[in-house]
Structure 1
Amino acid sequence: MSTRSDPVTRRAALVLGSGLLLASGVFASDLPASAQTAPQPMRIGIIGAGNIGSTIGGLWAKAGHEVMLSSRHPEELKGLVEGLGPKAKAGTPAEAIAFGDVVLVAVPYKAYPQLARDYAGALQGKVVIDAGNATQARDGEVYDEVRADGIAAVSAKYLNGARIVRAFNAANYKIFARNAGRGGERMAIPMAGDDPQALATAAQLVRDSGFDPVVVGPLAKADTFAMGSPGFGLDLDAEDLRARLGVAR
């Protein structure tokens, strides 16, 4: 029997208690270090190899996870993945989805309809960390959908069947690169999703990349920290971010 999904299965078991804490509004990042689960390596497929994909992927590779950044022309990523170290490799989007226990979507939002057409079946049941933002100048009709319906609903439409967690979308990649693993109180990353196990897995990956997770609520709450909202672009620690977004501790 294949053991392809064993890493994420083990992780899910290890963080089950963490997932319950998340659901009840108590965050594992608030626990003493001795009570937190030791990181377990995962395989992460990254759709896109731009600023967000390469920045967050590099942090995960540094933390010991295996990452595959993707492009329709993966040979062009050779220099990038070599710079990220031995835990990083390149592939096509289809290869990255198949490779990953978890998938990070980090492409321009206008690409989501094509992503759905090409890979909807492959993404079914996957934990998908959705880091996309919609901008008027770049994303055209999809931006109009987001403006009308909210980014949570539009992501759910195009990533239908995936276990979506919105995260790593609420700031510029330069802010992530500058603040990852900083001393003192860590920068907090707002997250939203409907699947408790997916949230627990994504929260651990937020910690592994050098930040603190703050679960804002179900996927619909992702609109509170989408680009253009008052919750976007905040460089705050977990306590201050919860206060700003009105999240109960």
Structure 2
Amino acid sequence: MRSDVFGLSLGRRGALALLAGTFLFPALPALAQSENPKKIGVVGAGHIGGTLGRLWIKAGYEVFFSSRHPEELKPLVEELGPKARAGTPAEAIAFGQAVLIAVPYKAYPELGKENAAALKGKVVIDAGNAVKARDGAIYDEVERDGIGATSAKYLAGARVVRAFNAANYKVFQKNAGRPEPRMAVPIAGDDHRAVETARTLVSDAGFDPVVVGELKAADRFAMGSPGFGHDVPAPELKEKLGVKP
């Protein structure tokens, strides 16, 4: 009896050996890949949320802007056209395949509690910063435990990636999509696939992503740290943050 495998004529022994070989060599682990979201929910459509939402719409994404007063977002949606819509934070979280959090940091505990079920398993791009004068006691918690750990605590269950927090929104407006070398944006997270999704969103917004490390590494580019506020290309940012080339 003859067997034909991949177009090659083999005897019974050869065919069995080839088939056995497929079980002797285990599959290599898959590389982390971006989940390639095309729908973004933006919680907090102020300066940073509005700026990034505009950039993603320009790149072809659908963006759901939200605030506690969604009626105030009508002019923004009308300006940006059919890929933009507006509503409540809960609606934005439900809509987005990934969600940008861009609200005052003191709102995180309530936001996380109110939307715990919807945030579970969701890729969350965390752009918030803790400011003592505005955010009160939670600022002290950030100082004690770190910004990444604090965000993960209050956005429990979400796949949090810190990004877009290391510069003022005007810097992003000015430098998005500039000619090479592009401005670098540091990111940090524990979930590899979520980090790759964040890389895609940073790149599509017009910047070069620099992965600094796991979520605890976000302290290295938090507001007030030496890694905050740099408008520099990727090689220079990596040097400043101690990221190996």
Name the TM-score class by shorter chain.
Answer: 0.7 to 0.9
Counterpart in the other structure of 1:243: 239
Moved >3 Å (runs of 4+) = none
Q: Give the 3-state SS of the residue equivalent to 1:206 in structure 2.
A: helix
TM-score normalised by L of structure 1:
0.84
Which residue of 64, 82, 89 corresponds with 1:68?
Answer: 64
Counterpart in the other structure of 1:53: 49
2:110 is equivalent to residue 114 of structure 1: yes
Number of aligned positions between the proteins: 216
Q: How does 1:1-249 map to 2 (within 5 A)?
A: 17=31, 19=32, 42-249=38-245
CA–CA separation in structure 2 for the residues paired with 1:174 and 1:72: 24
- Percent pairwise identity: 67
CA–CA separation in structure 2 for the residues paired with 1:235 and 1:85: 30
CA–CA separation in structure 2 for the residues paired with 1:215 and 1:157: 21
Larger fraction in helix: 1
Counterpart AA for 2:184: A
Counterpart in the other structure of 2:14: none
Counterpart AA for 1:60: W
CA–CA separation in structure 2 for the residues paired with 1:131 and 1:200: 16
Structure 2, unaligned runs of 5 or more: 1-29
CA–CA separation in structure 2 for the residues paired with 1:45 and 1:111: 17
Structure 1, unaligned runs of 5 or more: 1-15, 21-36
| Higher alpha-carbon Rg | 2
Describe the shift of the 1:66–1:145 C-alpha distance in structure 2 as closer, same or farther (beyond 3 A): same
Q: Give the 3-state SS of the residue equivalent to 2:217 in structure 1.
A: helix
CA–CA separation in structure 2 for the residues paired with 1:246 and 1:41: 30
1:91: Cα distance to partner? 1.1
1:83: Cα distance to partner? 2.1
1:123: Cα distance to partner? 0.2
Which one is further off, 39-48 or 83-92?
39-48
Tell me the C-alpha RMSD between the 2 structures.
Answer: 1.5
Counterpart AA for 1:230: P
CA–CA separation in structure 2 for the residues paired with 1:191 and 1:133: 14
